[in-house]
Amino acid sequence: MAAAEWDSRSVASPTGDWPPAAAASPIKGKAALPESDGGASASGSSEAKVDDGNIQEAESSLREGLSLNYEEARALLGRLEYQRGNVEAALRVFDGIDLQAAIQRFQPSLSDKPLSKRSNKLRADSSNSGSQHAASLVLEAIYLKSMSLQKLGKAMEAAKQCKSVLDAVESIFQCGIPGVMVEQKLQETVSKSVELLPELWKQAGAYQEALASYRRALLSQWNLDDECCTRIQKRNNLEEAILLLMILLKKWFLGKTHWDPSVMEHLTFALSLCGQTSIIAKHLEEVLPGIYPRTERWYSLALCYFAVSHNEAALNLLRKSLNKNESPNDIMALLLAAKICSSNNLLSSEGVEYAKRAVRDAESSDGHLKSVALHVLGSCLSRKSKVASSDHQRSVLQAEALKSLNEAISLDRHNPELLFELGIEYAEQRNMHAALKCAKEFIDVTGGSVSKGWRLLLLVLSAQQRYSEAEVVTDAALDETAKWEQGPLLRIRAKLKVAQALPMEAVEAYRTLLALVQAQRKAYGSVKNGTEDNEDKVREVEVWHGLANLYSSLSYWRDAEICLQKAKALKTYSATTLHVEGNKHELHEKIQDAVAAYFNAISMEVEHVPSKVSIGALLSKQGPKFLPVARCFLSDALRLEPTNRMAWFYLGEVHKQDGRLADAADCFQAASMLEDSDPVESFRSL
């Protein structure tokens, strides 16, 4: 098209924001016709005709009065209808625009490289300006068509139309949108389309296309401004989101953009999914004072530290936050502090106080928060009962723990974690019927998809000595569990075989477990010192311990020694490994070596209950002068683990040899009762 024609048309095209619906004319400059009482202007005539629905006549009036082509005239008419709120009418107008034909006309003039000579450059600039005006009209029309379809609930069609805008831009500007001399309205249309497209794909359920559109927005040369880029970079998939959000934080640190709290919220969410909460803590520490209230910052940091098991640091922050001069009634901080304390015997009393305050503060809130507070209170009371100074105090605390957990579950009946913890508490108090009911309810609520529910059920069945049923449940659990998560179930299967005096089948079960654990180690890499963070996986060192004990019981001393050396290679300093070694020596009737190994285990871990019981048992057989020492070790073991039946049995032997027959009878009775409800594996292993 001739440059003169483009020049006349450039002054006829709208350059500002969209005019209001009541505007007399959509055009300005030389082509704007004078107002008259008769309404003879092309614009007024076209508007009247559009109101009557005669689109073609209105289009003809615009084309004749303003020298516009077909697509441009329809773009103007459609924009007017859209601004008036006539979405369906606007859509009918936009449907007549042939975008491909328009692209072919615009492409030669806008995609050519600038000419070197000054005169040619001036003519090119004039022609380019007119082309940009025309392109702006048509592309804006397709953008508005996409918006119209979105308002009509046609998200997929809207996304396709919006995508066609960006496809057209890439076709017209093959070398990218220039950073200078670009029509403002055209740039606005492109920027709005770039931001709208992924949202439309998401509304249409096309998430892969949405992801691709985000990437395309960041990689294409569309001359987007910093604010537009910032809004786009806040959304992306997990692999890219963290890096992009960190870039945004760096921009803010350098003062290139304003502070946006949602950036930190997105980064926190993305890093939490990856388990990288320590990075969140680092960024929270770097944020300047005044951005967050300090109690809020302390709480967020405490969450980060708690997630990576830095409980002491987390609790210290929460203590500061819950100080009477700060936020003593912050229920979320109280709950987190109580949760941290519930995992440590020595902190259980402090946790009880936090939990009680949370229960009081939750009285006026919804039932969910009160249920959570009661749940944590029950956990703290249960933990506190394990360090009680007397049997009476222990019984009182256990009763209070059950009361709190039952109150919590009355407010949140189908909470799986509550059901599980209540089941554990019943099991540890040897109420196996109630524990069995909780385990079954947990499996029903979770659909059998959580391994620990099956494990609780298996341990309860083993405590009831229903071994054949436990075998059937094990098979069902293995069918419902992913291969990599079967380790704990296979370990219980091996121990069930041992409990049924089936040693060779137990060896085979351990071999199967060992093959799985070693396959996991090869797949995910070796783990330092044989430790793993995932509680649903079995450590390889545990398998060697089990095999060593099993071979020792069969008097296969060479095989037992090989297993012990394998365990030591994985974890050099281990109280459990030393106890297994002592057990081998004891069965081999090397008593001095056994005692030495047990004492070494206690030196390694002061509260190692199995070693205390073994030392007490051996000393009780060494004559009257060793009985006080044996009684001391066994009593200490029972303080740490009141349900250890072997500790009760050997303490009964000590009392019997010491002439305290009544005490001996009580100890033997306790051992007998516990034997009838002793699981193949401690409930604490869950």
| pLDDT of 534 higher than 60 | no
| Angle between helices 155-172 and 118-151 in degrees, nearest 10 | 170
Residue 18, pLDDT score:
36
Report residue 420 as tokens.
């599980």
Which of 99-113, 284-298, 370-384, 551-565 holds the top average pLDDT?
A: 370-384
Fold of the 625-685 domain:
1.25.40
Query: Which residue pairs from 572-577 have beta carbons closer than 8 angstroms and sit at least 24 positions apart in sequence?
Result: 572/529, 573/604, 574/541, 574/604, 575/601, 575/602, 575/604, 575/605, 575/608, 575/611, 576/541, 576/545, 576/601, 576/608, 576/610, 577/541, 577/545
Instruction: Give the residue-averaged pLDDT of 61-74.
Output: 63
Summarize the confidence of residues 631-635 as an average pLDDT. Answer: 91
Query: CATH homologous superfamily of domain 58-105+131-236?
Result: Tetratricopeptide repeat domain (1.25.40.10)
Q: How far is CA 242 from CA 70, 194, 272, in A?
A: 47, 21, 11
Q: For residue 125, which of 183, 184, 191, 67 has the smallest C-alpha distance?
A: 183
Q: How far is the C-alpha of 474 from the C-alpha of 477, rounded, in Å?
A: 5
Residues 428-439, mean pLDDT to the nearest whole number: 91
Closest CA to 65 of 41, 37, 39: 41
Mean pLDDT of 428-436: 91
According to the model, what pLDDT value does residue 28 have? 34
Report percent pLDDT > 70 for the chain: 82
Tens digit of pLDDT for each residue in 142-155?
Answer: 899 999 999 998 99
Tell me the fold of 321-523: 1.25.40
Query: What pLDDT sits at residue 333?
Result: 93
pLDDT at 128: 55
DSSP tally for the chain: helices H, then strands E: 34, 0
What residues contact 362, with CB distance under 8 A and at least 6 apart?
331, 369, 370, 372, 373
Model confidence at 274: pLDDT above 80: no
Which range among 45-49, 314-318, 524-528, 668-672 shows the weakest confidence by mean pLDDT? 45-49
pLDDT, average across residues 219-232: 79
Residue 584 clears pLDDT 50, i.e. is over it: yes
Q: Could you tell me the maximum CA-CA distance found in the chain, to the nearest angstrom?
A: 126
Rounded distance between C-alpha atoms, residue 584 and residue 552, angstroms: 5
Q: pLDDT digits over 172-206, tens only?
A: 777 767 655 567 888 888 889 998 998 898 888 77
Q: Helices 294-307 and 331-341 sit at what angle, rounded to 10 degrees?
A: 30
Distance in angstroms (rounded) separating the CA atoms of residues 479 and 430: 29
| Residue matched to tokens 């990599």 | 484
* Residue 597 CB coordination number (10 Å): 22
Query: 22-56 pLDDT, tens per residue?
Result: 333 333 333 332 333 333 333 344 443 444 445 55
Closest to 453 (Cα-Cα) out of 496, 485, 499, 501: 485
Alpha helices by DSSP H, listed for 13-54, are 42-51
pLDDT in tens, 646-659: 999 999 999 998 88
For 351, phi and psi rounded to 5 degrees? -65, -40
pTM, whole model, 2 decimals? Answer: 0.62
**Homologous superfamily, domain 539-606:** Tetratricopeptide repeat domain (1.25.40.10)
Q: Which own/partner pairs from 240-245 qualify as long-range (CB within 8 Å, at least 24 positions apart)?
A: 240/215, 241/266, 241/267, 241/270, 242/267, 242/270, 242/271, 242/274, 242/276, 244/218, 245/270
The amino acid occupying position 549 is N
Give me the DSSP letters along 574-643.
-HHHHHHHHHHHHHTT-HHHHHHHHHHHHHH-TT-HHHHHHHHHHHTTS-GGGHHHHHHHHHHHHHH-TT
Residue 387 pLDDT exceeds 70: yes
* CATH 1.25.40.10 segments of the chain: 58-105+131-236, 321-523, 539-606, 625-685
Q: Could you report the per-residue pLDDT of 93-143, keeping only the tens digit for each?
A: 888 887 777 777 665 555 544 444 444 444 445 445 556 677 788 888 889
For residues 71-85, average pLDDT: 84
Least confident of 195-199, 252-256, 463-467, 542-546: 252-256
Cα dist from 583 to 100, 101, 611, 646, whole Å: 84, 88, 9, 14
Mean pLDDT, all residues of the chain = 80
What are the pLDDT digits (tens) for 465-500? Answer: 899 999 999 999 988 888 888 889 999 999 999 999
Section 365-377 average pLDDT: 87
The larger pLDDT score, comparing residue 63 to residue 387, is at 387
What is the SS3 string spanning 460-480? HHHHCCCHHHHHHHHHHHHHH
Q: Could you tell me which residue, 610 or 390, shows the higher pLDDT?
A: 610
Residues of the chain with pLDDT > 90: what percent? 27
